[in-house]
Amino acid sequence: MNSFTYRYPVTVYFGEKAAEKNLPAELSKVGKNVMLAYGGGSVKRNGIYDELMGLLTAAGKNVTEFSGIMSNPTYAKVQEGAGIARENEIDFILAVDGGSVIDCCKVVSAQAKTDVDLWEMETVKHENPTEFIPMGAVVTAFGTGAEMNNGAVITNEEKKVKGPLWGAFYDFAILDPAYTMTMPMSQVISGAFDALSHCMETYMGTPCESNLSDEINEACQRSIIRNLRVTLKNPQDIKARSELVWAAAMGENGILKIGKVTDFQAHMLEHQLGAYTNCNHGQGLAVIHPVLYRHMLPEAAPQFARLAVNVWGVDPDGKTEGDPANAFIDALTSFIGEVSLPTTFAEMGIPADTDYKAIADSTILTGGCCKKFTKDELLAVLHECR
Ligand code: NZQ
Ligand code: ZN
């Protein structure tokens, strides 16, 4: 294990009626002017908006809405939110939806407190913001685990970069699995695959040899695979949904990363694919992962072999290491087909004339894994994904 410091600042309220039970006490600690942030309107259709608005009104808050936050949130949308927050002297932000709204508000909370351009501050000067509007998150779509960390993935349309900005941690996160029951099944599947991807990307970092973080990680992967299968058979199974919601949060709350340097090369590539195509995050990962992993096979065979046995139930008896390593990629590929995720960019509707060279060239190369990719290899991966 590498040396580590672990501190976790987010209070998690998990379970049935978590908002009703805990939001009033949390709201009593914050100022009067509250920004209620959400996406394209699912919260209005499924009744969550009315429920939260009732709790905010009962707490005597002045509510300002910040709505229309899109998937793959843009830096322009962050600026809009920061403007609304400043104009209305917002004391507290309640972000309600999936990863996109939750990420967008992390940066809004910082940008509202400074006139310095945050993109410039973080990506050019390599400084991080230090002042934030306090926030709470209500998760209505699981997958990213964004509610449990302070990284935000924001698309800068002018620069054609989808990249990380560091914002605030949420003071609390409300995870009521019942709130996720109206998610479209395609989002359930892509969210679950995103969570599985976070586990794999963490697992593929260093140290490569077996360690406690990876053993917990294996359990999370098994849970996601098993509970997605249950959910596909019975979408109303709240127990399976609860497991998925918590497994997704575990993927990004730092516990699996303890003592590790993570990989996240698939994510870096997918994020740039998103910058150029605005594609769905989990679906992009589903196409990229098996292809990228075939390229990693020679270097990553010991980890792949462990995943084959410990996650996918491959019997190692009488096999050389290369056999289960291959079996891992086969099992992952077959699972992607089983749950009806796309296997090519064409299936995702990504145009054939997409500038894959520009995507590969603008992708961050990560240093955490047993294999260091070059931009040319990433271009080869993208071409194979077409
Ligand atoms: O916009 P509305 O109408 O609300 O619809 C949303 C949206 O279409 C819908 N939805 C949410 N809850 C629902 C619901 N529909 C019905 N019933 C409900 N209960 O589902 C969609 C959610 O979209 P989005 O938030 O974009 O999805 P996701 O949670 O997958 O977030 C993706 C974003 O998170 C970033 C991705 O790159 C992408 O930008 N990520 C953030 C991470 C982080 N901060 O830790 C890690 C991830 O790797 C990821 O990169
Ligand atoms: Zn992800």
Structure-token pair, residue 3: 């040396």
Q: Do domains 11-180 and 185-385 have the same CATH topology?
A: no
Q: What was the pLDDT predicted at 208?
A: 82
CB neighbourhood size of 19 (10 A): 21
CB neighbourhood size of 372 (10 A): 12
Per-residue model confidence as pLDDT tens digits over 165-214: 998 899 999 999 999 999 999 999 999 999 999 999 999 999 888 899 99
Q: Indicate if the pLDDT at residue 303 is higher than 90.
A: yes
Average pLDDT of span 351-376: 95
Q: What was the pLDDT predicted at 213?
A: 96
Q: Indicate if the pLDDT at residue 314 is higher than 90.
A: yes
Percent of the chain with pLDDT over 90: 92
Gap from CA of 155 to ligand 1 centroid (Å): 14
Q: Yes or no: is domain 11-180 CATH 3.40.50.261? A: no
Average pLDDT of span 339-344: 98
Q: What was the pLDDT predicted at 321?
A: 63
Residues with CB under 6 A from ligand 1: 39-43, 46, 71-72, 97-101, 103, 140-141, 143-146, 149, 151-153, 179-180, 182-184, 187, 191, 194, 252, 267, 281-282
β-strand 62-66 against 92-97: which pairing, if any?
Answer: unpaired
* Ligand 1 atom at minimal distance to the Cα of residue 197: 48
Percent of the chain with pLDDT over 70: 99
Gap from CA of 3 to ligand 2 centroid (Å): 25
Average pLDDT of span 238-245: 98
DSSP per-residue codes, 22-63: HHHHHHTTS-SEEEEE-SSSHHHHSSHHHHHHHHHHHTTPEE
Q: Model confidence at 322, in pLDDT bands (50, 70, 90)?
A: low
Q: Model confidence at 24, in pLDDT bands (50, 70, 90)?
A: very high
Gap from CA of 274 to ligand 2 centroid (Å): 12
Gap from CA of 321 to ligand 2 centroid (Å): 29
pTM exceeds cut of 0.95: yes
Average pLDDT of span 93-112: 98
Q: Model confidence at 323, in pLDDT bands (50, 70, 90)?
A: confident
Angle at 190 between CA 79 and CA 283, to 5 degrees: 80
260 in Cβ contact with 205 (< 8 Å): yes
Per-residue model confidence as pLDDT tens digits over 255-293: 999 999 999 999 999 999 999 999 999 999 999 999 999
* Ligand 1 atom at minimal distance to the Cα of residue 38: 4
Report CA 32 to chain centroid distance, whole Å. 31
Q: Model confidence at 36, in pLDDT bands (50, 70, 90)?
A: very high
Q: What was the pLDDT predicted at 385?
A: 98
Q: What was the pLDDT predicted at 6?
A: 86
Q: What was the pLDDT predicted at 258?
A: 95
Q: Indicate if the pLDDT at residue 237 is higher than 80.
A: yes
Q: Domain locations in the chain?
A: 11-180, 185-385
Residues 6+ apart with CB under 8 A from 305: 316, 321, 322, 324, 325, 328
φ, ψ of residue 312 to 5 degrees: the values are -100, 0
* Ligand 1 atom at minimal distance to the Cα of residue 282: 30
Gap from CA of 1 to ligand 1 centroid (Å): 33
Q: Model confidence at 354, in pLDDT bands (50, 70, 90)?
A: very high
Per-residue model confidence as pLDDT tens digits over 130-164: 999 999 999 999 999 999 999 999 999 999 999 99
Q: Whose CA is nearest to atom 31 of ligand 1?
A: 99
3-state class (DSSP) for residue 209:
coil
Residue position matching structure tokens 């290899």: 377
Q: Model confidence at 43, in pLDDT bands (50, 70, 90)?
A: very high
Architecture of domain 185-385 in CATH?
Up-down Bundle (1.20)
